């Protein structure tokens, strides 16, 4: 071991490392014990190296005393398995048309593959993940969305947060697939953004973070320099009404608004393609991507 008096003076690289660690302290203190719901979308899951960084970020949050929960998607992987089985994926208003065969594939892919891979990666990175779907512990009761010709697409009827509360209190990281059943046991396919928003609301989460494949909310989504960094619920509603927010971004903004109205403190739409985007969001004042807040929020 080097005697302290013989040690070289701290070099620039070490100084930088120490500064970064020291700057993290106020955020660790602010968010320790707080629940952070992260929706990890299939679009941001395509790159295996990035996926491992997302997982490390989640394990980091858990190790410093925060309570992360992952709600995952997996749309591209479902499409790929449907293709292997000769079934053409179909969508209506961004939601998958889910007949009985498609429902079986959705459940097999989300619960059997995507969920277990994420659980495995978290555990390999030193965390303790538990994979569940809406059916486990009566977490989510589903009801049909009831739109003509859309099949077994569901929406959340109720959330029972007790199982999640006991898992996060004991340091586990719940990893949730968004398949749930109704009172007859019929399975439904629910959009993962919607589920993440409802879970965040039911737990009074500190933050809802939606990881996707765009910088955040853009005024003009062909122009990256038009990123909207901060906005209120009212401004978010007007972006939908004026058509600035379109397609797959509509359910994201809607679930942010719904969760904020039910007490979540801040909702973030961030770019999962940026390495360590979760840490960049949580451990800096400026954050990244777009942050939507309720009117009572103080920066
Ligand atoms: N105003 C906007 N700002 C940014 N992206 C937008 C906007 N309006 C629509 N989009 C689209 O929404 C997409 C994200 O939704 P989606 O593809 O459903 O993501 P995920 O698979 O992560 O759930 C973006 O890639 C972008 O094409
Ligand atoms: C009803 C509906 O569309 N369900 C989605 C559920 C998965 C999901 O939301 O995945 P992403 O977040 O990767 O898009 C689907 O079947 O693709």
Sign for the pseudo-dihedral over CA of 194, 195, 196, 199: positive
pLDDT tens string 190-203? 999 999 999 999 99
Question: Would the CB of 221 count as within 6 Å of ligand 1?
Answer: yes
| 3-state helix vs strand vs coil in the chain, percent to 5 | 45, 20, 35
- DSSP, collapsed to helix, strand or coil, labels residue 291 as strand
What separation, in Å, do the N-terminal and C-terminal C-alpha atoms of the chain show? 45
> What mean pLDDT comes out for the span 260-278?
95
pLDDT band at 248 (very low <50, low <70, confident <90, very high): confident
Q: Which ligand number lies closest to the CA of residue 272?
A: 1
pLDDT tens string 130-180? 999 999 999 999 999 989 999 999 999 999 999 999 999 999 999 999 999
11 is in an annotated binding site: no
Contact 260, 269 (CB under 8 A): no
160 is in an annotated binding site: no
pLDDT tens string 166-180? 999 999 999 999 999
pLDDT over 70 at 297, yes or no:
no
The yes/no answer to whether this complex scores an ipTM above 0.85 is yes
pLDDT tens string 43-58? 889 899 999 999 999 9
Tell me what pLDDT residue 18 has.
87
Across 1-151, where does the E strand assignment appear? Answer: 35-40, 67-72, 91-92, 95-96, 129-133, 140-144
Which mutation among 247, 254, 288, 289 tests ligand 1's pocket best, with the greatest number of atoms within 8 A of CB?
Answer: 247
pLDDT tens string 22-49? 888 999 999 999 999 999 998 889 899 9
Domains of the chain: 31-293 (3.40.1160.10)
């Amino acid at each position: 071991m080097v005697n302290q008096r013989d040690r070289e003076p701290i070099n620039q690289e070490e100084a930088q490392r120490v500064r970064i660690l020291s700057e993290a302290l106020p955020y660790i203190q602010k968010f320790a014990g707080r629940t952070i719901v992260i929706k990890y979308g299939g679009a941001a899951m395509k790159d295996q190296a990035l996926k491992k960084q997302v997982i490390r970020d989640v394990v980091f949050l858990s190790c410093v005393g925060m309570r992360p929960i992952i709600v995952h998607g997996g749309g591209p992987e479902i499409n790929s398995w449907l293709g292997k089985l000769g079934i053409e994926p179909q969508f209506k208003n961004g939601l998958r048309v889910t007949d009985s065969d498609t429902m079986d594939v959705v459940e097999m892919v989300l619960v059997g593959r995507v969920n277990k891979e994420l659980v495995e990666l978290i555990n390999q990175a030193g965390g303790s993940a538990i994979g569940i779907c809406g059916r486990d512990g009566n977490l989510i009761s589903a009801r049909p969305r009831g739109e003509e010709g859309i099949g077994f697409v569901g929406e959340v009827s109720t959330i029972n947060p007790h199982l999640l509360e006991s898992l996060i209190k004991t340091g586990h990281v719940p990893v949730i697939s968004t398949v749930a059943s109704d009172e007859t046991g019929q399975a439904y396919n629910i959009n993962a953004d919607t589920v993440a928003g409802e879970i965040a609301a039911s737990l009074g989460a500190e933050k809802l973070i939606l990881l996707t494949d765009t910088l955040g909310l853009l005024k003009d989504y062909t122009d990256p320099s038009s990123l909207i960094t901060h906005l209120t619920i009212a401004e978010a509603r007007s972006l939908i009404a004026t058509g600035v927010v379109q397609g797959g971004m509509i359910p994201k903004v809607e679930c942010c608004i719904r969760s904020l109205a039910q007490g979540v403190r801040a909702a973030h739409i961030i770019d999962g393609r940026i390495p360590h985007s979760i840490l960049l969001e949580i451990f800096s004042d400026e954050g990244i991507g777009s942050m939507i807040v309720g009117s009572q929020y103080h920066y």
